Structure formats: structure tokens, C-alpha cells
A and B are shown apart, each in its own frame.
Chain A
């Protein structure tokens, strides 16, 4: 008992001040950016990108990365002959719309389209939602087919360094108690029904946040017989958090963005 108390006193506070203060991100591998001005349009990175996230338009001399598909492997930086691709330490990447993460516009084919009525209802409710949730939020996490990297990072939100409960946010055991679904993974064939049921079991108003490249777009597992390209083909999504996996701070940023609590 004495030893236990000694330990508790030894480490009084380990929790980082993020998001109230910015965090030292100099060591982080954040998103890679390609500068079209330095690029010679050789197309090497486009053909070798493991998740085919780089788009190039030779006519307008434009090149960019779709961050919803990017797996943050930094291969493009490594193989770029002109040094146009550079990895930054930007990690706060969450956006409310997929188009804000993309360099080329998304072509949505008909069967991927979610029910339009959802979107209308969502936009009407959006203002009310944030009023209702105020400063507290209950989250249910759903893994719909991730590699478990994102899930470990979400678990990391509960560790002494991030301690998400200080922000009034906590994880609950059942979707029936939840305000927000934090979804990881590609919505695999076998999880589609479970994901839809979980969504329906969550009381309105609710928010859905897609965590990681797989949930945003299918990531590296796009287009197989058992996966779908992102969870937005099954449920409507409010915020997309890119990353493979996004770090705990990036997830905090995304959750707060969904609540309009980011600066």
C-alpha cells in the first residue's frame, strides 16, 4: 500500500495540455505535401503509391494527394527525384467534408450514394445537436474492419497522457447511450449489417466520425471482394480524420471539430 501511494505521488500529472496548448510535433510524421512548382510530372509517385492516393493532371501541371486515401507511408517523399514531395509534421487534419481532403473531386457512383434524406435531416439538426451536447459527449467506438491500429490509438485517448475525460468526453459500452459513433475500418462485408444496426441503435441526434484512411476511403484495402470504400457508403459521416493510424491528438482534434470546439 505504501509503495502504491509512493508511486501515485511520484507522477502527479502526466497529461498533456493538448488541445489547450499546442503540442511539440517536431518528431511526428504528419502529412506529405507535394509542391507542384518543384514537380517535374514524372509520375513515379503516382504509379508506386501503395494506396493510389496521388493524382496528377499533366495538362494543368497540377499534382496532389487525396488525404482520405493516403496511408502516410512517406514513400513518395523517398522516391521523388526533384524533392517536391516533403513530409511535414502537420497532424491536425480532420475535415468535415471529404472534398476538403481531396485534390481531385470525388466521383460518387450511384450505388455508393447514401440516402439523401439523411443528409437533409442532418443539416437541419446540426445546429441543434451542438446546443444539446454542450460540453459533454458520449462516444461508442465501432471497429468495422480496421487493422486495429486506429483502435489502439483510440484506446490511447484513455491513457494518462491524453485522458480525454478531462474534456467532458467519455466512452460508453452501448450505442444506446452514445451521442457519437467513432468508426474505424473499411466497413467490411461482414460488418456492414452490424455497423448499420449500431447506427440505428444510437439515439438521435447523433454524430459519426470516420477515423483513419480505411474509414475515410477504404485506404489500402480499397476495392476488394470483402471491403467497401469507406464507411460513408453505409452511414452518413460528419467528420473525416485521415491518418494511418491518426495519432491520439489528431483524433481529439477531429472529435472537437465535430463539436465545433476547435479554434
Chain B
């Protein structure tokens, strides 16, 4: 219905430039358009219709006789609709028109495509490398089909060029990639004058493992296990997004009991992750008591996971078409008891920390991410919600049984650490309530509708709300139940640039605290 209306509206404006149009999987509208007009079309969609660009990726479709294609994915978050604009790249020129000046969130995607496919964004304001560091030689593009996944190019020697900030008394502080804490690697280049940070540039991709390339040509079953290992603490959200995409392609509706079980696990993961983030914020503010309270609760949440499936990181829970076992059977009472214990402890602890003015003073008005910047960069998840971008995939693109369960999205506007912390605290309570509701309403029945084969060259999106925010996967199948292309965009990819903006004007010692309040995944960003 809505898909048709949107198509009519777009054909009225761009009749000549839309070559083909087709709806897939109920809410995905694919349009192939004239690449010369992409600037006008994307600006119309972004500015007139107000759809944010949530993903952009390239695909080597030479074996499908269409050459290289670029997909621009826009989302209508009120109607739950994805609008996908596809353009073909002239294989002689290998160039696309850059959208970055009109749509800032396109910038990183275009740099990524440039690195991985060698398709140059013409008119990009800052077209330097993103994925590859100085050791990668020119002219090697791993996501082109002719590139062999095992090929290791020679090590080149090039300097990374960082944005230089000029002026008297300005100096640079390099940090990383090996950090002082037990965290993942990444290099931060602070330009500071005295204490306040003028600019922060993050050089990531230290843990780039080539996951997207690795999955190409592999069986759909193996890729499930790879998807579980995209980002350790978002195991379930990632494997769920992958399963959803394959289930849409196979046109399988999974059993109700499996859907409820998935909600329980997805919320348990969110609870565990948020409790860890809260512990991290308290730790970096040197608030030891609260740190250990949250770590204790996190330990209980891990205990609940152990109880349910024997895996602390919820691995090997999802299967294509459902879940591996009936995990919840017979454990409902114990889980309920554990959740209530966490809830009452969390209430007590939150009351204590909110009454501590020294602590609140540290987090309030620190690391403000303005709403305008957040929406320009398409900040997602708790990071975006704290800045007033009040959307949640569970509401805008409901999956599993979320539309039958009751929950609220926290509303905050200030965009500082305090708001992000409160968003996470409120979401912890919502997660506990969601788990209890899902356990309450869980019907009997089987938990797996096995998928053994899928049609070749079909594609679908999987969207989930990971603990860090909107998580989007696009899967295209190949021959013999393999993967042709697997595009992964985790919430961390969107929020890293937002973090770099949030630290500006703050003092260097507040950086760890601001970083923890976002708690982004390096592995999920670098792939």
C-alpha cells in the first residue's frame, strides 16, 4: 500500500529517470535510476521526504551481466519502509557522483566503497582512505570478485594523513592503537590547545578481518557462525539480523515459540551490554562502588545466559528458521527470579548513584552531541536517542513479536553523558519487562522451521535493534545455497563520527568517559 503510494509520488517527479521499480519482501522498494540524476533524486528523498540515508554499499554484479551497482538505502522510520535506490557504475570510468555535500552521512560509505571496490566518489570533500592503512598498496580492491580472498598484497609504506589543525599552541596527542585499558585497538589523534579538544580524528580498521569477503561463496550455514562473530557482545543481534534476511529470502515464517525465545535472548543481550556500559561509565568517573554494583549485576545476567544456553555470549542459539533448542523450557521460573533480583538491585543502585552529586556533576553537560549533528550523521541507538532522535528498530521495523509487547522508548534531548546513561538505565528496565512479557506469553510448539535451501540471486534486509542501535544486514544469495554478497552495517559505524563530534570542546581527561558512554564496537565497525 504505502510502497505503491511512494512509487507514484516518485514517478511523478522523476518519471524519465526511474528505469525499473519493484517491491520485495513487503517493505523494500527497489528503484533503478539514472546515475546522472542521483544527486537530485537523493536530495529529494533526503530533504523533501525526510528519509535518512541509513546504508550505502556497492556490489560486484559482473557475473549477473550488470557490472558494478551502488545501492543507496533510505528509511521511512514512521511507516517502516525501506527505499533502495540502485545505480549502475560505468565500468570504463569507475566513478560515482558523491552525495556527501548534500547528505553528510554518505561520506564514510563513499570512502569505504572507494577502498574496497575502487569506485571513486567524484566531488567528495575528503576522499582519503578509510578501511586501509598505509600498508595497503594502491590498485588492490578486495571486494571485487576477481580478488582472491586468500591473496595477501605486499606491504606498502605510506604515511597516514591526519587532519592538521593550525594555530599557536596547538599540539597533537596520539593515542593507541594499543590502549591502557582492556579494550579493542584504534588510533585517536587529538588536536588540543591546552586541555580542550579542538579536533579528534579516529583511525579505526585495525581489526579489519575481511568478513564481507570471507562470506562470499560460503554456505548460508557457515555464514551464520561468522555473523555471530562480527562483534562479540552483539552476537545475538547480528546473527538475528542475518537469520531474518535468510528467512525473508526463503519466505519462511518461524514458529511463534522461536520468536518469543529470540526476544528473550535479544533483550538479555541488551541488558548485559547496558549493565557493562554503566559499569564502564562509573569506572571512568572513578566511582568504584557503583562500578562493582553494575559488574555484579552483569555477572548475574551472564549467569542467566549460562543457565539458558550454556554460552555467556549467546552463541549457537540462533539457527536459520528458529532457534537451536527449546532453551526456555523448564527454566522460566528460575529466569524470572533472576530478572527480578537484577531489577530490584538496579533500582537501588540507580537511586544511590543519582543522589551522588559529585558523580552527576561529572556526567552532566559533558560530551554533548547536538541533535542537528546527530541527525546529519544518522546517529543511532542510545547515542542518538539521548540527543532527541527518538526511534528504535523494534518500533519502526517491528520484528519477531515486538509489536505484541509493550515497551517505551526513553525520551531525552540534552545529548550529554547523563542522557546516554539515563537512556541505558531506562532501557535496562524495559528489557527486563520485555523478557518477562515474552516469557509470560510464550506459546507452546516447536522452535525450528528448518531452512535447507534458498533460491539463488534473491536478496533481503535484516534489521535489528542491537544494544548499540540500528543494525542492518543485506544478504544476496548465490548458487547452491551460498552467499553472493553480505553487507553488514553495525550501529558502531554510524556512531563513531558522532563520538568524534561529541568530544569537541571537552577536556582530554573526559574523553574516556565520553567514549564509554557510547561504548562503540571496533570489531563491528572494522569488520
Contacts and interface: CB of A to CB of B under 8 A. Distances in A.
B316 A191 contact: no
Contacts of A156: 299, 302
A11 B233 CA distance: 27
A224 B295 contact: no
A188 B209 contact: yes
A198 B325 CA distance: 43
Contacts of B205: 190
Q: By CB atoms of chain A within 10 A, which of B209, B219, B307 has the most?
A: B209
A160 B289 CA distance: 11
Nearest to A50: B225
A225 B206 contact: no
Interface in B287-328: 289, 292-293, 295-296, 298-299, 302, 306-307, 309-313, 315-316, 324
A148 B182 contact: no
A223 B232 contact: no
A174 B175 CA distance: 12
Interface string A204-231: 0000000000000001110111110000
Given A14-B299, A145-B209, A149-B313, A225 B153 contact: yes
Nearest to B133: A190
A16 B50 CA distance: 54
B296 A160 contact: yes
B210 interface: yes
A143 B207 contact: yes
Contact of A161 (B222, B230, B232, B299): B299
A48 B221 contact: yes
Contact of B209 (A4, A73, A186): A186
Contacts of A142: 178, 185
A233 to B, nearest CB: 12
Interface in A179-195: 185-186, 188-191, 193-194
A224 B185 contact: no
A151 interface: yes
A173 interface: yes
Interface residues of B, number: 67
B184 interface: yes
A133 interface: no
Given A225-B151, A226-B210, A149 B185 contact: no
Nearest to B279: A159
Given A28-B310, A150-B232, A145 B207 contact: yes
B209 A7 contact: no
A224 B232 contact: no
Contacts of B149: 223-225
B348 A3 contact: yes
A224 B213 contact: yes
Contacts of B289: 4, 7-8
A14 B296 contact: yes
B135 A152 contact: no
Contacts of B142: 225-226
Interface string A124-158: 00000000000000001111111111111111101
Contacts of A147: 229-232, 523
A60 B25 CA distance: 50
Interface in B265-282: 276
A247 interface: yes
A119 interface: no
B150 interface: yes
A51 B296 CA distance: 34
A221 B214 contact: yes
Interface in B135-152: 135-136, 142, 147, 149-152
B251 interface: no
A27 B311 CA distance: 9
B521 interface: yes
A262 B526 CA distance: 37
Nearest to A148: B232
A239 interface: no
Contacts of A223: 149-150
A45 interface: no
B351 A188 contact: no
A159 B296 contact: yes
Contacts of A146: 184, 207, 232, 523
Nearest to B319: A78
B184 A143 contact: yes
B352 interface: yes
Contacts of B522: 143, 148
B183 interface: yes
Given A191-B177, A194-B178, A29 B310 contact: yes
Q: By CB atoms of chain B within 10 A, which of A4, A223, A247 has the most?
A: A4
Nearest to B355: A3
B208 A188 contact: yes
B182 to A, nearest CB: 5
- Closest 8 pairs (CB-CB, A-B): A149-B232, A173-B180, A50-B225, A29-B310, A224-B210, A148-B232, A226-B210, A159-B295
26 contacts: A3-B351, A7-B289, A7-B349, A48-B221, A50-B226, A51-B225, A73-B316, A75-B221, A142-B178, A143-B184, A143-B185, A145-B207, A146-B184, A146-B232, A146-B523, A147-B230, A147-B232, A148-B521, A153-B312, A160-B299, A189-B152, A189-B208, A190-B206, A224-B149, A225-B213, A247-B312
Given A3-B355, A221-B229, 18 more contacts: A3-B351, A8-B289, A27-B307, A29-B309, A142-B185, A143-B207, A146-B523, A147-B231, A148-B521, A158-B182, A159-B295, A159-B296, A160-B296, A161-B299, A188-B208, A194-B185, A224-B214, A226-B142
Interface of B: 133, 135-136, 142, 147, 149-153, 177-178, 180-185, 205-211, 213-214, 219, 221-222, 224-226, 228-233, 235, 276, 289, 292-293, 295-296, 298-299, 302, 306-307, 309-313, 315-316, 324, 348-349, 351-352, 355, 521-523
